[in-house]
Structure 1
């Protein structure tokens, strides 16, 4: 099962929106989502934007995607790397030629052994990071999934 804990910091999102001088409706229109109530839900932690939408939000608010996330403690896990890359779990799975359930297990830390070097290299390429960072992220996910 994929992690469902909040990764987006609702207060950081609200603060960045207010600093940019935008209403919730204006931000929603600029990032291409339906209505300000969607932004309101994000700012109340009632829902979270998809990774690709988070990147559009960051662009509109002139911040980085990382600025809108809850601060990382320790090495970033695989989920955080995926979100920072602006990709869905399905996109990562397709780009690395693994099934979505396999990728979901990796992201949730449910792996018996580290993926092959070829798989690690594919993940690194898709996520735009080094193999060592992917290995550390999988280890972090494994710790979190225990």
Structure 2
């Protein structure tokens, strides 16, 4: 059995799809994915949709991306903020002019100090959130990795 993704909620996807009366194959066609096999694997939790697919799923099912993610009680980390924006790590790196390796390191909580507001500004802008939100998300990721 695969380890569950800490963010994606496979059961929420299945419920939302069936509530809309769609088959796996129909959902796959509507989001531009070949065949229902992808949707089946996502619902089984063996794979997870990429951020772009997650964004398209939410649009087709007429719901917020947050409803396809596991709930959190402590607030979002950077990866969750990125997923809520429907972005891949590569897209966030490109839009914020921060290296992909830095984005991945930050998402893993591997940072000794929180970057300056000046550095976090472009990240926040790309994600459509405030600098304070990114600062908090980095602190959560760092604290979780300790």
With structure 2 as the length reference, what TM-score do the two structures score?
Answer: 0.94
Counterpart of 1:70?
70
- 1:40-89 deviations in Å (ceiling 9; x for gaps): 00001000001111010011111110011000121200000000001110
Counterpart of 1:43?
43
Matches within 5 A, 1:1-146: 5-146=5-146
2-structure distance, mates of 1:6, 1:102: 20
How many residue pairs get matched?
A: 143
- Greater relative CO, 1 or 2 (CA 8 Å, sep 6+): 1
Structure 1's consecutive aligned runs of 4 or more residues displaced over 2 angstroms after TM superposition are none
Say which SS state the counterpart of residue 75 (structure 1) adopts.
coil
Judge conservation of contact 1:120–1:134 (CA < 8 Å) in 2: yes
With structure 1 as the length reference, what TM-score do the two structures score?
Answer: 0.94
Structure 2 alignment gaps of length 5 or more = none
2-structure distance, mates of 1:6, 1:56: 20
Root-mean-square deviation (CA), in Å?
Answer: 1.1
2-structure distance, mates of 1:79, 1:26: 29
1-structure distance, mates of 2:5, 2:31: 24
Deviation at 1:28, TM superposition (A): 0.3
Say which SS state the counterpart of residue 76 (structure 2) adopts.
coil
Structure 1 alignment gaps of length 5 or more = none
1-structure distance, mates of 2:31, 2:144: 32
Deviation at 1:143, TM superposition (A): 1.5
2-structure distance, mates of 1:100, 1:53: 20
Judge conservation of contact 2:5–2:48 (CA < 8 Å) in 1: no
